[in-house]
Amino acid sequence: MFATSPLLDSVPGIRYGFGTARHLVPASLSPHWQAVPSKLQVHGVNVVEITHAGQQCEDADAFFTSVAGIPVTVITADCVPLLFARRDGKMIAVAHAGWRGLRYGVIRALWDTLKARGEDPADWVAAIGAHIGACCFEVSENLADEFVQHLAHVPASDIRPQHRHLNLNAIAELELRAAGIVNFDNPRICTMCQRQHDGRFAYRSYRRGDRNSHQHTGLVIV
């Protein structure tokens, strides 16, 4: 099973892709790869507008652009990659959200920035890429409790479906809806345990031991 997005497929004038263990850079993005901005993901909430190829972004975990030919991308190996596109294909965005990003509001920060520029979430669609699932994401009891308390308006079992396991899927969906994004795809693929038909793991997973290589996820306006 590999991630695709019918919603992103419906947007004109863009290409998107989710990397895998076999193809770390999606084939759909490789023709534009030389233009990818330089960045350092730090599990934070900094948002950067991409205006030119090879842009130096420094520390950032969310990016957006309306410039054609420049991919906005994130790298993950268990964290949640999120792709966003305006329905007319004129602007795209991406966010890297591990548990820290979700806890401290990287999705909210991105959408506060876009709304300040006049963007309406109703005009956008989104897709959640493969990331570690609640089946495999065991955390400390204190961290699980912190999320349950932070999201006290949600049934605790949605956030912590079993003892010391955290459901990043549910948390990402909650954050998207809170930002006003109600149209999104989520194939619910776990990077740690999802296998291909031949038995090999489909994705890179930090928790499983893939410490030095990550898959890329992103979009480009063409």
Q: Which fold has domain 6-132+186-221?
A: CNF1/YfiH-like putative cysteine hydrolases (3.60.140)
Question: 170-192: per-residue pLDDT in tens?
Answer: 999 999 999 999 999 999 999 99
Q: Give CA–CA dist 179/185, Å, rounded.
A: 15
Element (H, E) at 112: helix 106-116
Q: Where are the domains of the chain?
A: 6-132+186-221
CB 208 within 8 A of CB 22: no
**Confidence check: pLDDT of 1 > 70:** no
pTM of the complete model = 0.96
Q: Give CA–CA dist 14/171, Å, rounded.
A: 27
Question: 80-97: per-residue pLDDT in tens?
Answer: 999 999 999 999 999 999
3-state helix, strand, coil in the chain (%, to 5): 25, 25, 50
Of residues 55, 50, 81, 53, the one with CA closest to residue 65:
50
DSSP string, 137-202: -B--HHHHHHHHHHTTTS-HHHH-SSTTB--HHHHHHHHHHHHT---EE----BTTT-B-TTSSBS
Each residue of 30-45: b (16+ CB within 10 Å) or e? eebeebbbebebebbb
